[in-house]
Structures are given as structure tokens and as C-alpha cells.
Amino acid sequence: MMKIIVVVGDQFIGRGEKITVGEAVNGGGKSGRVDVLDFAKTDIAGKVNPCCYFPCQHWGVCVRYGEDRYECDCTRTGYYGKNCTIPKFWTRVHDFLKPRPDVVHYILTHFHWIWDVINHTFLRDVLMRLVLTVRSNLIPSPPTFNSKYGYLSWESYYNLSYYTRILPPVPEDCPTPIGVKGKDGLPDPELLVESLLKRRTFRPDPQGSNLMFAFFAQHFTHQFFKTYNRMGLGFTKALAHGVDAGHVYGDNLQRQLKLRLLHDGKLKYQVIDGEMYPPTVAEAPVRMSYPPGVAPEDQIAIGQEVFGLLPGLGLYATLWLREHNRVCDVLKVEHPTWDDEQLFQTARLIIIGETIRIVIEEYVQHLSGYLLQLKFDPNLLFNTDFQYGNRIALEFSQLYHWHPLMPDSFFINGDELNYPQFLFNTSVLTRYGVEKLVDAFSRQVAGQIGGGYNIHSVVTPVAVGAIKESRQLRMQPFNEYRKRFNLKPYTSFREFTDNEEVALTLEEFYGDIDALEFYPGMLLEKTRSGSIFGESMVEMGAPFSLKGLLGNPICSPGYWKPSTFGGQVGFDIVNSATLQKLVCLNSRTCPYVAFRVPQSEKGDIRTDEL
């Protein structure tokens, strides 16, 4: 008896069954003849948009012709065939030799003695260049799709008001919200968050990430994650799609000028107890997002309008304000003839350079858990095929909702502050001061991001909003993104998570692993052993991050030289930047500061150790 198999990408569906390509060729594992037909030519498909099946594999682009015909554009994918599933010769060789991501991760996080040798030889540069190029090549440059258009358009490239996106949206005329898989409706987002993401008991990050790390993540990313829903879905306020220090200087010239002292290149400030802090809104009249009734004298003026929300964000704003003004003093000595504008602009470039170095060599280093010592050296890419410039993707914005990092309460100098005492309370910053906040945040562990059940109830509405946004913008399912980033798609919820309760609930909510949404997938995936999150967050997040950092103009051959930063003195500031220096050169004492809680109490670090 003949069995009819329907083609859907590199899998086949027949009467409720799903089997692999190999099984189809071998009779589906059973005796009898198997005929493979194009699904668009069968009665099963009807008039369903064939692109709803996501038939094109390996980065192939689905182009619809009429109601029931499609073609996959396999150009430069390394594959050919109806659905871009047949590898070319060199693709076969590459795939055969390429180790799996979990194997690479294991090697990079084990064998200390080997990495101790590598980190002190030329091999460190070789491997760092490989990390940068392999990761960055996963991000299209120039961008392809954006948050509005599911096909290439001039708007996708030219209109910076949109977030770009890696995969086009799910077609609007598909049978289910996620394509053809799963149930007719998606689970209620409030119920989804309440059932699977809301914290039950605080679960600390096994990597030891602390609140200094958590607030850095939030402070750093809000210079380019600036969703502008007042314009419509998928819009961003960011004029620059990357590290521009707009969270320090403002995202437009008008705001910048109100924050500037307009003398010696410096930013406005106020002095409290002999120390420098951001000015009040009364002194620098910029719009800040505070609750109604908070007087301008009680609001601090910062480049990012929402940074009055958390004292941890105000802490970093204070540190970068002090660092900017300190750098201006250094440049003024070196260049006594420079005017205010040149001092300001050069100091800003130095701050951007310091930021990128700290992010790569300390922040990303901590996240990765790699024993390979990461290195910020733009020279590594000068002889490679690397395109400078960057666009922030919707998927990057979605996956960076790391609210599980937030604790149940905040411990500062022996005091415990709950959320009502902490939120929008500028006095926390000025009452405790920089040193006490840095020390407290560096010693308090943050929450584990992956694995579910770890978002504090105060911030669960943000998770609900992220899910609603992804649905309105019709993001493709989690497994399609796994394939886009060269990861094996999960075949079941029990493979996806090691928590039986999570697996059963997801089965009830979605019905099919291929219907699982992107954001819940990122937050609920089983974590790697001893890690802050799962495989997908690393393998998808790292390419966005590294492409954005190294794609910055200051990293290009035309910019990366001493004269850009005011000479060798400014260049040295960039090339020696650390989190410890950022704090200790801008405070009276030098508290414990790191992105990881201390393994043992070692006391204060002296300034002369810098």
C-alpha cells in the first residue's frame, strides 16, 4: 500500500506522523513504498500559504507565487534543491568538520592548563579573531528584513526608525498564529507568565552574577534598546543602532546641550557632600520619567529618560558622568588650545571606547564562562571580510529581557530595601554614596535568567508586554530561530527542558514544540550546567552583541588610532579601561567591584593596585 508523505522543509508529514528525510527515503522505517510529494500539490495543503510551513531551510528565502506555489531562493546558502536541503560538496565538508556548539562550549570552559598556555601566546589572537568572525557572520550586514516588511525593501535598509529583524514575520494568512503548527490560539500571556515565568522562590545565578552586573546590563543596553511604541510597533527612538553612549549624553542634540556645561567639554553636575552627581532637572531641564508629583529638584537629569527608575542605573550614570569630566581634565592638560566642543566630542569617543572594552573583556567574558581570555583589539579584524556598521534587531531586543536577574529585595550597608523603597528613589544614590552602592551591589547575587520561575512579580508585566509585542509583530517560532543560528531544533518539550512540570504545561499551552514562541523559549530552555542560561541565549545573543560592538565606527581602520582619542594619552585610557578603574578613579575609596560576587572576603582594593 502506497503511503503519501508531505514535504515540509527537511521533515515530512503524513497523516499526523512526522518522520525525517532519511526515514522517508527508507520507507519511513517500515516496509512498503513511499512517494514524496510537494505539499502544495496535495489536497492536505488546500489554499494555505505555502510559506506558512517555513519550507525553506538553511537561510533559504520563501517566495510565494499565487495561492499554492512557492520557490525557495537558495542563493549563497551552500545548499540547493526544492527546499534548500541538499548540501553542496564544500558544505558537506564544512558540516562534517564543524563541532557542535555544546562541544565547543565544553572545550572553552574546561582544561584550565591548556587555556593558561594559550592565553599567553599568539594563539589567543588567532582564536579571538575566529570567535569574532564566526559569530558576526551570523548577522546580516546590511540588514535584510525589518519590523514592518517581510521582504527586502529600501525601507529595511534605509529607515533607521525601525528595528531590523533576522527572520521575516509569519505570514498573516496562516492557519495558526505561528504558521501551521500548534493550536488555533496562543496561550493567554498573563497566564503563561504566571504559570511558567513568575518567581516562586529566588534562584541565584550559579555563575555568581551580581547586581553590579545586572544594573550594568540594563544601563548599557538602554542606549540602543529604545522601543518607541508611540510611533507604532517595532519602532526605535535610537538614532544610532549601537554603542553611542546616548544613555549618558542623550539621544538627540537638544537633550545633549541641556546636559552639557558648555565649558571645558564637561557635563553639568551637582555637588553633594563634596562629591559629583548628575544635576537635577531644575538645573538641566530635560524630560525624565518620574511618577507624577515628583518635583524637578528631586529628579536627576540623565541622558536616558527612564534611568530615574532604579538607583543602580543612577549609580552608573554618576560613574560615567565623573569619568567624562575626568577625561576632559586630562585632555585639557594635553591640548590647552582645544575649545569646549572638541574636548567634549573627543571625551565622548573615549567613553565609547572604554565601554566597549569593559563589555568585551569583563561583561561578555563573565557571561560566556570561557577560559579563553577575550580581547578587545579591533586590529584583529582589519585583514578580514568585516563590514562596519550595525542595526539593532527585534530579536536582540526580545532576548535581552533579563528581568530574572532582579532580587527579592536590596541589601545596602546593612539595610534591606524593598521595591517601593527602591524604585524612583533618587535619595538612595546620594544617601549611601557611590562606594557603598558599588560594594553592596557587587556582593549581592543576581537571579538565574534561564530555566523559568524566576521573574519577580514587580516586573512580570514587562514579560507580558514582550510576549504581546512578539505576537503583534508575528515573530517566527523558537525552533525556526534555532535553525537560523545553526542549532538543531528541539523535537519535544522534554528535550527542550529538564523540568517535567514545564514540559507538561508547555504541551498543554502549545501542543507542538514547533509552535513554541521565541521569548518563552529563550527564558524556559534548560540551562547549561552551572550556567546563567541555556544554549540558545548564548548562541543567538553573542552574534548580535559582538557584531554590534566591533561594528562600531571607532573600531574601523579609519578611526582606531591615537589621534581619534586626543593622542596617546586618550588612546591609553581606552586600551586600559576596566570596571575597577571606572569606579576607583572616580570615588574617594576603592570598594570591592566586579561582575561576580566574591568567592571570599578580601577587603578593600587599594587605589595603588590599579
Per DSSP, helices labelled H in 194-241 are 211-221
Q: What are phi and psi of 20, to 5 degrees?
A: -85, 170
Report CA dihedral (18, 20, 21, 27) to the nearest 10 degrees. -80
Catalytic residue among 58, 222, 403, 456: 222
Q: Counting beta carbons within 10 angstroms of the beta carbon of residue 254, is it exposed (0 to 12), middle (13 to 18) or buried (19 or more)?
A: exposed
Contacts of 257 (CB under 8 A, 6+ apart): none
370 is catalytic: no
DSSP, residue by residue, 243-258: ---HHHH-SSHHHHHH
CA atoms within 13 A on the CB side of 422: 19
Catalytic residue among 70, 79, 400, 481: 400
Rounded CA separation 41/548 (Å): 43
**Nearest alpha-carbon partner for 452 in 141, 258, 192:** 192
Count the Cβ atoms, other than its own, within 10 Å of residue 396: 25
Can you give the three-state secondary structure of 348-370, one letter per residue?
A: HHHHHHHHHHHHHHHHHHHHHCC
Cell numbers for 12: 515530512
- For residue 226, the SS3 value is coil
Rounded CA separation 378/444 (Å): 34
Cα end-to-end span (Å), the chain: 78
Rounded CA separation 113/369 (Å): 16
222 is catalytic: yes
Element (H, E) at 344: helix 340-358
List the catalytic residues: 222, 400
